[in-house]
Amino acid sequence: MTDDAEPAKPVTVVVDVANVMGSRPDGWWRDREGAATRLLAGMSALVGRDVDDPDGQPMRIARIVAVLEGQARTASDPGGLEIVRALGEGDDAIADAARVLVGAGTAVVVVTGDRGLRARLPADARAAGQGWLNALLGR
């Protein structure tokens, strides 16, 4: 018997860390560096996992690009992620990363609830809300 299931498509997930942190009122504002470190540690466990994409289709998280800004820029790197420590606006770094990845032919999902940022993404980049990533993380 053969398995007719389609293999999960490899996808790079670009995360607006500030936006995801801010989506849960867990005291992140008292310790942005610590909150970002905890979030990054959870995300590192997702790399290589097969999950349902925001539309319920199978995908494999091949890579995660986590964009840090402001006080969260100094968060500890748990390994397994690509960390971008934005010196300016995090949204600029996220839009730039998505543009470069899509231009290289990479399937991209950008995690953010920021409508302005979503409007700046390349047409071939998909967007997912913070709730999708929070559910994968069990938060």
Residue where the block lists tokens 């979030």: 39
> Among the CATH numbers 1.10.150.120, 3.40.50.1110, 3.40.50.150, 3.40.50.1010, which is that of 9-137?
3.40.50.1010
Domain spans, the chain = 9-137
| Average pLDDT over the chain, rounded to an integer | 93
Share of the chain above pLDDT 70, in %: 96
| pLDDT confidence tier of residue 4, bands split at 50, 70 and 90 | low
Rounded to 5 degrees, φ, ψ at 28 are -55, -30
CB burial class (10 A; 0-12, 13-18, 19+) of residue 15?
buried
Cα separation, 86 vs 71, whole angstroms: 11
pLDDT tens digits for range 52-76: 999 999 999 999 999 999 999 999 9
